[in-house]
Amino acid sequence: MLIDTHCHLFQEYYDDVDSIVKDMPGIMIVSGVDLKSNEEMLSLSKKYDNVYVTLGIHPEYASEITDVSLLTQYFDNEKVVGIGEIGLDYHYDKSNKEEQKKLFIEQIKIANKFNLPIVIHSRDASLDTLNILKEYLNTKAIMHCYSYSKEMAGEFLKLGIYFGIGGVLTFKNSEKLKQVLKELPLDRIVLETDSPYLTPEPFRGKQNIPNNVSLVAKKIAELKDITYEEVVKITEKNARYIFNIKK
């Protein structure tokens, strides 16, 4: 079964979220980025058996959020399977690095305490991300949309971290990620779309949907020289293990 471990099925992006969900034969793990989208994604997960949710405050909202312990009010719901997406993003805004780090660390501590995996967003912040994870991580974790070097991937592998692989792998200019993928053991890879963003080829430029995760699986099969079915099987196993999904 295909599992899209990371997508944002927000109403503000899609005309008809229900049809997008019904279009996907496998499991979707939808992800919030702020208080409003967390609640919206939690509702969606309650509506559909094959939709699970990760809740978190994205670094982009670091300056708006004062109390991340608010997240824990939802943890008794069985559809909540992780914390994300959380992390560091210095690409557009470097001015609030300290706020971002604080928010990231606080959410990692909550994840450790509740034994929930985290889904990490990290952009232009590889060293700070690595150092924080080295110091605080005590639960399972996925680097979502990994964009750093092969050497850095080795460091994250040493920490037991998994890698979310998405549409970027299918892009013509993604030689760096293709090289990284060759080094990654299959038991550390999960599939993701990051819908509505990062639509895989041949649909690049259009709005992304969870069902496109099959295109990512096909590309991994090609690059790893194994069958599509093997990729689907092992990434399903990994995702079920990380997020403790048994159904």
Site residues, Ni ion (CB under 5 A): 85, 194
Q: Which of 164, 187 has the CB closer to Ni ion?
A: 164
The DSSP bridge partners found for residue 121 are 87
Compare residues 161 and 247 and give the one whose CB is closer to Ni ion.
161
Rounded to whole angstroms, the Cα distance separating 153 from 195 reads: 24
Please return the burial class of 219, using the count of CB atoms within 10 Å of its CB with bins 0-12, 13-18 and 19+.
Answer: buried
Q: How far is CA 215 from CA 26, 128, 133, 220, in A?
A: 14, 32, 31, 9
List, in sequence order, every beta strand (DSSP E) within 32-130: 51-55, 80-89, 118-123
Q: Which is nearer to Ni ion, 167 or 220 (CB)?
A: 167
- Of the pair 209, 230, the CB lying nearest Ni ion is at 209
Nearest distance from residue 31's CB to Ni ion, in Å? 6
d(CA 143, CA 141): 7
What span, in angstroms and rounded, lies between the C-alpha atoms of 128 and 4? 27
Q: Residue 214: name the closest of 196, 198, 200, 224 by CA.
A: 200
Helix (H, G, I), strand (E, B) or coil at 220: helix
DSSP secondary structure code for residue 115 in this structure: T
Question: How many other CB atoms sit within 10 Å of the CB of residue 25?
Answer: 11
> In degrees, to the nearest 5, what angle opens at C-alpha 210 toward C-alphas 1 and 12?
150
The distance of closest approach from Cβ of residue 57 to Ni ion in the complex, given in angstroms and rounded to an integer, is 13
The least CB distance from residue 89 to Ni ion, in Å, is 11
Please, which residue, 84 or 130, has the CB nearer to Ni ion?
84
Q: How far is the CB of 144 from Ni ion (least distance, A)?
A: 6
Distance in Å, CB of 225 to Ni ion, minimum: 29
Q: State which residue, 197 or 228, has the beta carbon closest to Ni ion.
A: 197
To the nearest whole angstrom, how small is the minimum distance from the Cβ of residue 172 to Ni ion?
A: 22
13 or 241, CB closer to Ni ion? 13
Q: How far is the CB of 84 from Ni ion (least distance, A)?
A: 8
Residue 212 near residue 193 (C-beta atoms within 8 A): yes
Closest residue to bound Ni ion by CB: 194
